[in-house]
């Protein structure tokens, strides 16, 4: 039976190499793939619905199993050694799976095709790639390419993606509603209980470490553990350089403004909802599409456009607001701190405002009154003292806070 997605070969059309990473070294197979891809005809269809595999123990057993089988033989590989399994199937069975990184559930994907390959010949599903086609027959090899050009493979990948998205959204909702959260700040060892947003807002406000809105994060405990592990290993969270001691690391992250994570580090992708939303697309691709849509629609009416709210946190409490104006009004009414009035009276320019805000945040973080320098056991006691004595209303001398180091929060 001829396969409708067969790949034929024509000289000088394309050049491909199989690159295998074996035992830490790169071994390049000296076989060149010349091919022309023939697209499927319109009358090809799948006659049976897809059914995701279940092990004898049921769905739970599939999810909890620590290993993944080879599609063709009895070899098993730990989930963490997915690349080793892929190399095994290329070397031993001549099977290449395209775009593996876009498979949402690798184990279910492998189990599905393991079952299907026992039902029909592999050539019914895979494109055949012949290497060294001009060499003697004994030197030629046939490789099999499994990819989403095959509608059945494409549908399977989409179903696995949808299933993962449902599970991720359910987990995110559980974390949003969880009030039993307990963790310690990785920068000051302060304990936080209740909702995870309290910790993330604290790190953003008091340590200038911002990982985005808490509602955009999923698998929060695993995310925090990954960050803590890097710090325990004296590793910068942004550039990932390793330092000789904790103080040197802290100084580096402060001076280089590395109190953030590297958005291009794909290790963190699994902790952000945006990376689960569209099949086969990373957050960068999703955002790039959004930007292209904006450029394509410059002539449209923008009168109904609303600015995306930005989370701003009060200098003295946990209150958040979506605009600076609302936050300034809150601080004036709730704490007697009129930032707009102070700005006008002292003629503060932009960088002076930044210095002042950073200075106040630093003093509040250390539970120290920025007027009388008295230190308290808790932030609650400090704020109470400052409101009663009106120390919250007046600023210390300009030389106290108008310093270059206050720009390095």
- For 283-352, the DSSP string reads HHHHHHHHHHHHHHTTTS--TT--PPP--EE-SSSS-EESSHHHHHHHHHHHH---HHHHHHHHT--HHH
Q: What is the mean pLDDT of residues 324-353?
A: 87
pLDDT of amino acid 398: 83
Per-residue confidence band for 31, with pLDDT thresholds at 50, 70 and 90: very low
Q: Is the pLDDT of residue 39 over 60?
A: no
Q: Which residues contact 387 (CB under 8 A, 6 or more apart)?
A: 335, 336
Rounded to whole angstroms, the Cα distance separating 333 from 136 reads 87
Per-residue confidence band for 321, with pLDDT thresholds at 50, 70 and 90: confident
| Packing angle, helices 106-117 and 151-177, rounded to 10 | 150
pLDDT of amino acid 14: 32
% of the chain surpassing 90 pLDDT? 27
The closest alpha carbon to 7, from 126, 152, 113, belongs to 126
Considering 48-62, 64-78, 298-312, 390-404, the range whose residues carry the highest mean pLDDT is 64-78
Q: Among 5-19, 84-98, 216-230, whose mean pLDDT is lowest?
A: 5-19
pLDDT of amino acid 34: 30
Q: What is the mean pLDDT of residues 203-226?
A: 88
pLDDT of amino acid 10: 32
Q: 132 with 141: CB under 8 angstroms?
A: yes
Q: Is the pLDDT of residue 33 over 80?
A: no
The closest alpha carbon to 109, from 63, 56, 160, 182, belongs to 160
What phi and psi values does residue 277 have, to the nearest 5 degrees?
Answer: -80, -40
Q: What pTM was estimated for this model as a whole?
A: 0.51
Rounded to whole angstroms, the Cα distance separating 309 from 177 reads 21
Span 138-155, pLDDT tens digits: 778 889 999 999 999 999
- Strand 95-97 to 141-146 pairing: parallel
% of the chain surpassing 70 pLDDT? 74
pLDDT of amino acid 290: 54
Per-residue confidence band for 347, with pLDDT thresholds at 50, 70 and 90: confident
Per-residue confidence band for 119, with pLDDT thresholds at 50, 70 and 90: very high
Q: Is the pLDDT of residue 113 over 90?
A: yes
The closest alpha carbon to 144, from 334, 5, 252, 306, belongs to 5
pLDDT of amino acid 68: 94
Q: Is the pLDDT of residue 87 over 90?
A: yes
Q: Is the pLDDT of residue 46 over 50?
A: no
pLDDT of amino acid 2: 37
Between 2 and 322, name the one with better pLDDT: 322
pLDDT of amino acid 32: 31
Considering 188-192, 210-214, 278-282, the range whose residues carry the highest mean pLDDT is 188-192
Q: What is the mean pLDDT of residues 302-327?
A: 74
- Strand, helix or coil for residue 214: helix
Q: Is the pLDDT of residue 276 over 90?
A: no
Q: Is the pLDDT of residue 303 over 90?
A: no
Span 226-265, pLDDT tens digits: 999 999 999 999 999 999 998 999 899 988 888 888 888 8
Per-residue confidence band for 8, with pLDDT thresholds at 50, 70 and 90: very low
pLDDT of amino acid 262: 85
Count of C-beta atoms within a 10 Å radius of residue 110: 22
What phi and psi values does residue 157 have, to the nearest 5 degrees?
Answer: -60, -40
Q: Which residues pair with 55 in a beta bridge?
A: 58
| Average pLDDT value for the chain | 77
Span 154-199, pLDDT tens digits: 999 989 988 988 898 899 889 888 889 999 998 888 999 988 889 9
Q: What is the mean pLDDT of residues 87-113?
A: 92
């Amino acid at each position: 039976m001829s396969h409708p997605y067969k790949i034929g070969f024509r000289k000088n059309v394309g050049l491909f190499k199989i690159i295998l990473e074996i035992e830490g070294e790169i071994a390049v197979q000296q076989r060149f793939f010349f091919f022309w891809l023939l697209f499927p005809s319109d009358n090809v269809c799948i006659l049976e619905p897809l059914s995701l595999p279940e092990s004898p123990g049921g769905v739970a057993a599939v999810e909890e199993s620590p290993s993944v089988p080879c599609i063709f033989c009895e070899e098993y590989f730990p989930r963490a050694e997915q690349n080793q399994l892929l190399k095994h199937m290329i070397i031993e069975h001549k099977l290449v799976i395209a775009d593996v990184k876009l498979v949402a559930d690798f184990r279910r994907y492998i189990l599905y095709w393991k079952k299907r390959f026992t039902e029909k010949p592999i050539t019914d599903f895979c494109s055949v790639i012949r290497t060294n086609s001009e060499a003697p027959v004994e030197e030629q090899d046939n490789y099999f390419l499994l990819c989403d050009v095959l509608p059945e493979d494409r549908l399977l990948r989409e179903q696995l993606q949808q299933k993962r998205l449902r599970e991720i959204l359910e987990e995110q909702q559980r974390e949003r509603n969880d009030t039993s959260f307990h963790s310690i700040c990785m920068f000051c060892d302060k304990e936080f209980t209740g909702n995870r947003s309290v910790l993330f807002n604290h790190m953003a406000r008091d340590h200038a470490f911002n990982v985005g809105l808490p509602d955009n994060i999923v698998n929060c405990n695993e995310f925090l553990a990954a960050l803590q592990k890097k710090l325990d290993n004296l590793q910068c969270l942004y550039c990932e350089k390793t330092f000789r001691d904790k103080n040197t690391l802290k100084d580096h992250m402060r001076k280089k403004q590395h109190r953030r994570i590297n958005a291009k580090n794909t290790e963190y992708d699994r902790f952000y909802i945006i990376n689960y939303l569209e099949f086969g697309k990373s957050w960068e691709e999703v955002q790039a599409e959004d930007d292209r849509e904006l450029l394509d629609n410059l002539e449209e009416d923008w009168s109904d456009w609303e600015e995306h709210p930005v989370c701003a946190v009060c200098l003295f409490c946990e209150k958040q607001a979506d605009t600076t104006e609302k936050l300034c009004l809150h601080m004036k009414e709730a704490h007697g701190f009129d930032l707009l009035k102070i700005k006008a009276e002292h003629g503060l320019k932009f960088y002076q405002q930044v210095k002042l805000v950073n200075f106040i945040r630093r003093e509040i973080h250390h539970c120290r009154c920025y007027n009388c320098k008295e230190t308290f056991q808790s932030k609650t006691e400090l704020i109470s003292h400052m409101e009663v004595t009106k120390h919250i209303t007046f600023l210390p001398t300009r030389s106290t806070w108008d310093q270059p180091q206050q720009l390095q929060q």
